[in-house]
Amino acid sequence: MIQDILSYCSPSETNDCISDSLTILNKNDFTAHPYFHNSIQEIAEENEKLSRVIGTVRSSKYAAILEEDDNTRDRLLMGLTQVVKACMLREDKPTAEAATEVYRAVKAHDLNLRYQGYQSESAGIDSLVNELNTDRMKALIDILPECKAFLLELIAANEHFKHDFDACMAHKAEIEKLNSPSIQKKMIRHLFNTKIVRYVNMMADVDPASFATIAKQLAPYTEKINTTAKARKSRKETETI
């Protein structure tokens, strides 16, 4: 069974999932099912709008500013990681043990920067910062002064990036009269969940010859982004306890 796309999946995750799903659907002929056929066309048009509003970030006049901001936080995050790893090699046992625990937290977030979109990276850094801001982690980081310095600079750099990103999106949405990514994502997610997910799940039982295979092919896409979003949400909720 195909899962609904969760509300806390990011615009980029939602866009990618629906694009992959449309690729599968467009390999089939659904003209015998006019409601479903028309739904696919409608969702393709709305998903293209989501792609456009996400894509305007990199093509706008703000692109150079955002690239510089992003490079700064990437550099600081890599610096933080390297400093923590270096401290793990210290002869001083309390320092090495503190660094080892902090490194586990950093590693758990799996921030593969080159492969993440701007918003996913921002969310990932926020999640990491929230975890490192717990009382226990702050006590460990106090033992690692260089680590603390990198962390403070990373927090500032990430907030600066998000400010510039929001300014960029507001400007482009105003110019192009497009919805913001979050509003467009909400619209396309509702359409996809109601007109694709629930329809295919129902038809897989009613007409398995036409829809059972489609359901199996689409299921991994929503499951993948939902798993990622749930893990991100769970970390954030744990960190606020």
| pLDDT tens-digit readout, 61-113 | 677 888 899 999 989 999 999 999 999 999 999 999 999 999 998 888 766 65
Residue 196 maps to a domain: yes
Residues 160 and 194 in one domain: no
The fraction of the chain above a pLDDT of 70, given in percent, is 89
Q: What is the pLDDT of residue 115?
A: 58
If one compares 179 and 16, the residue with the highest pLDDT of the two is 16
Residues 47 and 83 in one domain: no
Residues 127 and 191 in one domain: no
Q: Looking at the whole model, is its pTM more than 0.75?
A: no
Residue 170 maps to a domain: no
Residues 82 and 144 in one domain: yes
Return d(Cα 163, Cα 43) in angstroms, integer: 31
Return d(Cα 189, Cα 9) in angstroms, integer: 10
Domain tally, the chain: 2
Domain of residue 123 covers 63-165
If one compares 202 and 116, the residue with the highest pLDDT of the two is 202
Residues 68 and 124 in one domain: yes
Residue 78 maps to a domain: yes
Which tokens is 13 given? 């995750």
What DSSP state is assigned to residue 49?
H
Q: What is the pLDDT of residue 174?
A: 66
If one compares 189 and 58, the residue with the highest pLDDT of the two is 189
- Out of 126, 145, 165, pick the residue that ends a domain: 165
